[in-house]
Amino acid sequence: MLTRIAEGVLVHESEFVQSNAIVVQGRAGVLLIDPGITGGEMTCLASDLSDLGQPVVAGFSTHPDWDHMLWHPLFGAAPRYGTARCAAAVRDQLSDPGAKAEITAHLEPTGIADQVPLDLYGLITALPAETAQIPWDGPRVRIIEHRAHAPGHAALFVEDRGVLVAGDMLSDVLVPMLDLDGTADPIEDYLAALRLLEGVAGDVDALVPGHGSVGGADQARARIELDRAYVLALRDGQDPGDPRVGPSAKPGWEWVSSIHTGQLQRLTTPG
């Protein structure tokens, strides 16, 4: 089911780790951002768009993690964009003939492995480096690329609607997940990304994380500060006191503590 969060902007929340697909309405159709997880959910989303008389005219993947790279034939053959670094990371991944099988194996414990369509996985078009906005016939959507979380990760800011699509950042249920293998200084890269998002925070009326709850105007700065405090605590080897880990974690999300523990060990273990 699509939920309206701003004029011309709607969200479909997946049952799988509260993954959010975002729809931005344009003149001739919609921009579909991170379109979903299971085939059934994407079929439902395509049906909702058909009922609205809104074809998909463009897609965008915020980063090269598997759950942001999916597509369904019912969305049609619209161009699917990503940053140049994001597209390069996916091309490198798909150069391994066993890549899709690895995703399926990774999903086996979740019970949804046979529900995730991979035929159109990762078929995105690289936007030229430093592209400032999505090339489509709709509201201006600014691309805020940075080096946090994954190669070519990008947040999107739908300027006239005051909507910040944060990718896998600014979640109320997931702690910041650093790109510990892809950058020389993952801590500073994450802090720099938060500063970029802080630059638009004052104009945000609705915040959509890749996973978690949609936030209102008061949440953009609050979640930036929460993520910054977490990253600084990681840097300093301290207990972050973060409500997303430990006994205060949201029921069903206790596993996020293992992400925190793993990151802390990686950052504090010599060599």
DSSP string, 150-203: STT-EEEEEGGGTEEE-SSSS-SSS-----TTT-S-HHHHHHHHHHHHHHHHTT
Q: What is the pTM of this model?
A: 0.95
Q: Are 32 and 11 in contact (CB under 8 A)?
A: no
Rounded to 5 degrees, φ, ψ at 251 are -50, 130
Q: How far apart are CA 118 and CA 106, in angstroms?
A: 13
More confident residue, 1 or 16: 16
- pLDDT > 90 fraction of the chain, expressed in percent and rounded: 94
Strands 20-25 and 9-13: antiparallel
How far is residue 75's CA from residue 269's CA, in Å, rounded to a whole number?
45
- What domain range includes position 220? 2-268
DSSP 133: B
Residue 245 in this model has a pLDDT that exceeds 90: yes
> Domain count of the chain?
1
Under DSSP, is residue 96 helix (H, G, I), strand (E, B) or coil? Answer: coil
| CA count, 13 A, side-chain hemisphere, 195 | 7
Q: Specify the pLDDT at position 19.
A: 97
> Over 80: is that where the pLDDT of 269 sits?
no
* Structure tokens, 218: 């008061």
Specify the pLDDT at position 271.
57
Instruction: Quickly state the pLDDT bin for 246 (edges 50, 70, 90).
Output: confident
pLDDT for 24 beyond 80: yes
The pLDDT tens digits of the residues spanning 170-219 come to 999 999 999 999 888 999 999 999 999 999 999 999 999 999 999 999 99
Q: Identify the DSSP state of 15.
A: S
- 133 - beta bridge partners? 142
Closest Cα to residue 268, out of 207, 165, 204, 187? 187
The predicted pLDDT at position 180 comes to 94
Any idea which residue has 């509260």 for tokens? 18
Question: Mean pLDDT over all residues of the chain?
Answer: 96
pLDDT score at 270: 67
Express each pLDDT in 37-47 by its tens digit. 999 999 999 99
For the domain that residue 211 is a member of, what is the CATH number? Answer: 3.60.15.10
**Buried-exposed string 166-183: b where 16+ CB fall within 10 A, e elsewhere:** bbbbbbbbbbbbbbeebb
Residue 67, pLDDT > 90, answer yes
pLDDT of residue 214: 98
